[in-house]
Amino acid sequence: MGLKTYILKRFAYMLVLTFFVLTLNFIIFELIPGTNGVLESLIGSGKNFSQAQIDALKALYHIDDPVQVRYGAYMYNMLTLKFGLSFRTQNPVLQDMEGFLPNTLVLLGISTLLSIVIGIGLGILSAHKRGGAVDSTSVFASLTTFSLPTFWMGLLLLAVFSVQLSWFPFGGNIPDSWLIHPPSNILTVITTKIWYAFLPVTVLTLFQYGFYVLLTRATMLEALTEDYIITARAKGLSETKVLVKHAFKNASLPIITSVALAFASILGGAIITETVFRWPGLGLWTFLSIGFKDIPVLQAIFFISAMAVIIANFIADLIYGIIDPRIKYS
């Protein structure tokens, strides 16, 4: 099977998987009790809706329509990114998402990249120094930070560096004064945002990097026992080339999958960390939406997150054949 045929086959598989994800997403929210009650509470919240406005809201959310009509409208809206209006804010979901998405991309993008680079680097070093002090320290530290809850690490850092030492702000992503008088100096904006992002980025990096250390170490230890490593060393290649060009390249397939899924999960946000640090990203938005039973927002977030994972798996499958020529597209 050629590459073009393989891509078409995988694309068809993605379409089928997308259909099942959308259907499951619809069923889950249909089974949640009290969904209609949220809209009824909104109508009876003292905003003095007219009967015409009430009818328009019910038509918008398909409250009185049969399930097959709601399902058809839901599928069309999801595929065309028409997620409707938020129950909580009454703004278009995409409009609210545009406000939260950049903050999550900054927070999780930086922390994910740092954790991957640090984790893979330490994993290669640990495998090379197996049984030594560097290996033992690295594995112990990785297991420790990977096992600690993110909310505990976040609260600990806030208590020490925000409350006791006053080195960093107590949550948020910008000073409150900026809401009234935003600064004009771009350097001030960048340095202040880095200052606010330092603690949550640190928490997420500490939590994530240990996984890559352990995974890289395990795959590298297996690769270093292969005959081609002995041959490479016998040819007089430097240890750096042996580790990176030969061992790591052949040990990287499971790492590629993990990295692809890690970047895909960025669009899901970091609910616990963003809530602890009051970071206005998709995670905090999801937390607020769960409390309000904001179904349009939750459906949109879960759909976008699922699609990101599906696309990431597809990209990882294509990269496999580039990294390892022994893999055939079939």
pLDDT digits (tens, 9 = 90+) for 201-257: 998 898 888 888 888 888 888 777 777 777 777 777 777 777 777 677 777 778 887
114-125 pLDDT per residue, tens: 999 998 888 888
Nearest residue to 210 via CA among 118, 135, 272, 124:
118
Percent of the chain having pLDDT more than 90?
Answer: 1
Percent of the chain at pLDDT > 70 equals 85
pLDDT in tens, 67-101: 788 888 888 888 888 887 787 777 888 888 888 88
Cα separation, 171 vs 324, whole angstroms: 44
Q: Could you give the count of Cα atoms lying within 13 Å of 34 in the half-sphere of its Cβ? A: 8
Q: Is 45 a residue whose pLDDT tops 50?
A: no
Distance CA 252, CA 317 (A): 13
pLDDT for residue 47: 53
Distance from chain centroid for Cα 293: 22
3-state class (DSSP) for residue 323: helix
What mean pLDDT, rounded, does the chain reach? 79
pLDDT (0 to 100) of residue 193: 82
Distance CA 212, CA 122 (A): 9
Tell me: pLDDT of 46 over 50.
Answer: no
Q: Are 277 and 64 in contact (CB under 8 A)?
A: no
**Lowest mean per-residue pLDDT among 12-26, 43-57, 83-97, 124-138:** 43-57
Say if residues 242 and 229 touch (Cβ distance below 8 Å): yes
Instruction: From residue 107, give the alpha-carbon distance in Å to each of 38, 65, 96, 113, 277.
Output: 31, 41, 18, 10, 11
What's the predicted TM-score (pTM) here? 0.77
Q: Which of 31-35, 194-198, 236-240 is the least confident region? A: 31-35
For residue 165, what are the CA distances in angstroms to 157, 161, 170, 175, 277?
10, 5, 11, 18, 17
Q: Mean per-residue pLDDT for 32-46?
A: 54
Task: Kindly list the structural domains of the chain, giving each domain's residue range(s) and its CATH number in brackets, ordered by start.
Answer: 25-79 (no CATH), 96-323 (1.10.3720.10)
What span, in angstroms and rounded, lies between the C-alpha atoms of 39 and 57?
A: 8
pLDDT of residue 133 exceeding 80, the answer is yes
- pLDDT of residue 152 exceeding 70, the answer is yes
Mean pLDDT (whole number) for 115-139: 84
Residues 6+ apart with CB under 8 A from 218: none
Arithmetic mean of pLDDT, 121-139: 82
